[in-house]
Amino acid sequence: MNPKVDAYIARSNKWPKEMTALQAVLLGCELDEEIKWGKPCYASGGKNIAIVQEMNDFLALMFFKGALLRDPQGVLKEQGPNSRSALRMEFTSVDDVTAMADTIGAYVTEAIAVEAAGLTVEPAPDLVLVDELQQRLDDDAELKAAFEALTPGRRREYNLIIGDAKQSTTRAARVEKYVERILAGKGLRDQ
């Protein structure tokens, strides 16, 4: 057990009992636990297997390469419409965790095997930028260089948030809103 994870669970006001039950199952799978990205993360052989996420309506056990797991029980759910590899299990009670303990163990065992085999999720298709963002990058070499220096995930996230606007004027305004962040090398959620 990792004291940092125990402290995280002790501070939780959403799902502490459920996390404690889930922690016992995961440690029973001989996973190492630590805090990564501010959340309890479980690894095997130095490779991340799953992370625990407290949501408002449920506690999630997110498998980093969930898309590569068979799902005979049909319990894995998408993180969101733009998520490619991560899939999660959801729990709303200690009874849920207890009832799913064997299933969790089986999925963890498979996730460890996926990592050990070196399997990877297919790369994302090439990013097609929304017209307003592409035009702004074409007009500003410094901004284009800064945008291209961002990680693929950050570029994708900017493209998604800008492209979500229905009107061209709103998309253009969003591009301008994020210019300084892009030039600073920051993603949407970076401090």
pLDDT of residue 62: 97
DSSP code per residue over 139-157 = H-HHHHHHHHHS-HHHHHH
Q: Record the tokens describing residue 24, joined without a space.
A: 């016992």
Alpha-carbon Rg for the chain in angstroms: 20
pLDDT in tens, 155-179: 999 999 999 999 999 999 999 999 9
Measured CA to CA, the distance from residue 49 to residue 16 in angstroms comes to: 21
pLDDT in tens, 6-27: 999 999 999 999 999 999 999 9
pLDDT of residue 28: 96
Measured CA to CA, the distance from residue 158 to residue 20 in angstroms comes to: 36
Q: pLDDT band at residue 186, thresholds of 50, 70 and 90? A: very high
Strands (E) across the chain are located at 32-36, 39-44, 47-54, 59-63, 77-78, 87-91
pLDDT of residue 57: 96
pLDDT in tens, 39-90: 999 999 999 999 999 999 999 999 999 999 999 999 999 987 667 789 999 9
Q: pLDDT band at residue 152, thresholds of 50, 70 and 90? A: confident
Measured CA to CA, the distance from residue 32 to residue 45 in angstroms comes to: 8
Place of tokens 């948030």: 161
Would you mind telling me the total number of residues written for the chain in this entry? Answer: 191
Average pLDDT of the residues in 89-103:
97
Measured CA to CA, the distance from residue 132 to residue 110 in angstroms comes to: 43
User: Between 121 and 27, where is the model more confident?
Assistant: 27
Q: Is 31 exposed, middle or buried (0-12, 13-18, 19+ CB in 10 A)?
A: buried
Q: Residues of 134-166 as b/e, b for ≥16 C-beta within 10 angstroms? A: eebbeeeeebeebbeebeeebbbbbbeebbebe
pLDDT in tens, 122-142: 877 788 999 999 999 999 999
Residue 44 makes CB contacts below 8 A (sequence gap 6+) with: 30, 31, 32, 112, 115, 116
